[in-house]
Structure 1
Amino acid sequence: MSIVVTGATGHLGRLVVEALLRRGVAPGGIVAAGRSVEKIKDLADRGVVTRRADFADTASLQEAFAGAEKLLLVSATTPSERIGNHQRAIDAAGAAGVSLIAYTSTLRAEATTMTLGRSHWETEQYLRERHRNAVILRNGWYLDNYTEQLPLYRQNGVIVGAARDGRVSAASRADYAEAAAVVLTGEDHAGAVYELGGDSAFTLAELAAAVSSATGEEIPYQDVPVTRLAEIYREAGLPAEFADTIADADRGLALGELFTDSSDLRKLIGRPTTTLAEALANAR
């Protein structure tokens, strides 16, 4: 029996595989699944089982999940395709006899108004209806969403957003990956819903101040309307649907939908979450 991690060719899935290995799971007991397994050949070289899993291809999902005891369903990227992709994966896992499914959702999925959130809530409902041993990992925003833009912030000399004075409880991808590994290797998590976020929330103005401090450059925050932010993303080359979705996340941030005072993440990983200052230092 094995633990399957979908999206292992992506950032979060890959980090979960690494976290499982650090926790002592034998490489042969981990299935790293993704559309392009050539991207994770190095994991195969270390003994991790790699299998192709395309959310749009039910047959590939059934093959990827065969013999699995536990599954981490890392949410699909494209919002308009997410629900159908997730439903196929959940059905395939049920057919394969997977005993526990953990799903990476978003904070307060039942109440969020964000475009990203609606598909997560529908997925949660579908999963609960069809699998009694489900674990919901409601991941907050990634610190990496900001630190990966550090070169762009410095190039432009400004951080642009539409979040007003909303606070975001961001944590690193590595923090969320470690929490997923804890759940996948532990007991008594079935049925749990974890609201996961960083210990120290911040506004985007505070982000700008932290970036300025870390770089030694004055990089202010500029707030714009959500529609203008989406235009800026499209002008930068992002696909229209993705640009609109990311801009809408700032609208949710402004409304407090990316804030949590839950200590679930800190409790699961057994340590304080990564701070903004630490993330910026690591990024530099």
Structure 2
Amino acid sequence: MTTHAVTAASGKLGRLVVEALLERGVAPADVVAVVRTPAKVADLAGRGVQVRRGDYAEPSSLAEALAGVDRLLLVSGDTPGERVAQHLNVVEAAKAAGVQRIAYTSILRADTTGNPLAPDHRATEEAIAASGLAHTVLRNGWYTENYTDQLGRYLATGEVLGSTGEGRVSAATRADYAAAAAAALLDEGTGDAVHELGGPSFTFAELAATISEVTGTAVVHRDVTTAEHVAALRAAGLDEGTAGFVAALDASIARGELATDSDDLARLVGRPLTGLADAVRAASA
């Protein structure tokens, strides 16, 4: 049988990918959940999933975690500045373990975008390609949860603040991205693939309008300049570097770098994607 491994399986995305593999009929014994802290996924172990300790920063742990694995999903790390070296550890361990295919969660338009998160992803994609491993690159757009997790603040302040202009965001829920990742792991195709993934796009004005309609509370979009955005974030308590980084993400949206007309996500998932209104409705509940 084919063994499928998912790194960062205790995280919000990785756990959903494990669940999606099980929902698609993969036997629990054929799923490996790679985590830094096994106790966090004791429930998965109780269901028969193989739980193995693996830390991106500890190559020896990765060698043990990936032993006997046929297909691997590398969920990108969350520490800018350290991710490339950590990802390379996983790629090297996968190659040494004889992994047949590696999939990686990258960022939309990784090869061309000016998004400040892109360089780490671009470098990882290049390393995977150079490894000689068969690979699938999953260029995820923004998570809808980036916005629905802030619903309480939007409702309290009555506004969605940003410096995105009329830029559109092709966001999708983590569950939809997870379903796509599971489908990519199970794909029997032999060639390398790059998927640009995103849901139906919306502007921040449309986000505010959707929140207003779903919740019955008036919320408006307040668009500001990048400098004004940084100042507002600083006033809210962010340090200068973090405020500048957040504003740079909005600038990427304004340039259209987080929007796509690709249907790769819907095609991989094989069902209708979760719409923005439904996501807001679920969050508000």
Normalised to the residue count of structure 2, the TM-score between the two structures is 0.94
Matches within 5 A, 1:243-254: 243-254=243-254
Cα distance in 1 for residues equivalent to 2:233 and 2:17: 29
Query: What residue number does 1:20 align with?
Result: 21
- Give the aligned length: 283
- CA distance in structure 2 between the aligned counterparts of 1:191 and 1:239, rounded to whole angstroms: 41
Give the Cα separation in 2 of the matches to 1:235 and 1:126.
Answer: 40
Letter in 1 for 2:79: T
- Pairwise mapping of residues 128-147 of structure 1 onto structure 2 (< 5 A)? 128-147=129-148
Q: Which residue is equivalent to 1:183?
A: 184
- Aligned equivalents of 1:35 and 1:116: distance in 2? 23
Letter in 2 for 1:162: S
Return the offset for 1:53: 1.6
Q: Is the 8 A contact 2:102 2:133 kept in 1?
A: no
Worse-matched range after superposition: 103-112 or 44-53: 44-53
- Superposed CA deviations along residues 81-107 of structure 1, whole A, max 9, x for unmatched, are 111111111111111111100001111
Letter in 1 for 2:226: V
The amino acid that maps onto 2:136 is V
Taking a change above 3 Å as real, the CA distance of residues 9 and 233 of structure 1, as seen in their structure-2 partners, is farther
2:282 is equivalent to residue 256 of structure 1:
no
1:225 is aligned to 225
Instruction: Report SS of the residue matched to 1:136.
Output: strand
| Partner residue, 1:280 | 280
Residue aligning to 2:172: 171
Which SS does the other structure have where 2:70 is aligned? strand
Counterparts of 1:252 and 1:236 in 2: how far apart (Å)? 22
Classify 1:242/1:16 alpha carbon distance in 2 versus 1 (closer, same or farther; 3 Å). Answer: farther
Q: 1:179 to 1:223 in 2, by over 3 A?
A: same
Query: Pairwise mapping of residues 11-160 of structure 1 onto structure 2 (< 5 A)?
Result: 11-160=12-161
Report the CA distance between 1:227 and its aligned residue: 4.6
| 1:245 CA displacement | 3.6
Asked if the contact 2:73/2:102 (under 8 Å) is kept, the reply is yes
**Could you tell me which residue of structure 2 aligns to residue 213 of structure 1?**
213
Give, in whole Å, the separation in 2 of the partners of 1:87 and 1:242: 26
Question: Kindly tell me: are residues 218 and 81 of structure 1, through their superposed partners in 2, closer, same or farther at Cα, counting changes over 3 Å?
Answer: same
**Cα gap change, 1:97/1:235 in structure 2, threshold over 3 Å: closer, same or farther?**
farther
Structure 2 distance, partners of 1:9, 1:230, is: 33
Structure 2's unaligned 5+ residue stretches are none
Which residue of structure 2 lines up, in the alignment, with residue 270 of structure 1? 270
Q: Which runs of 5+ in 1 are unaligned?
A: none
1:201-244 CA-partner distances (Å, limit 9, x unpaired): 11011101111111111111112333554555566566776554
**2:35, 2:213 → 1: CA distance?**
39
Two-structure CA RMSD over aligned residues (Å): 1.8
Q: Matched residues, percent identical? A: 50
Residue 272 of structure 1: CA displacement?
Answer: 2.4
Partner of 1:210, secondary structure, is helix
Cα displacement string for residues 152-211 of structure 1 (whole angstroms, at most 9, x for unaligned residues): 21122211111111001111111110011111112116401111110x211011101111
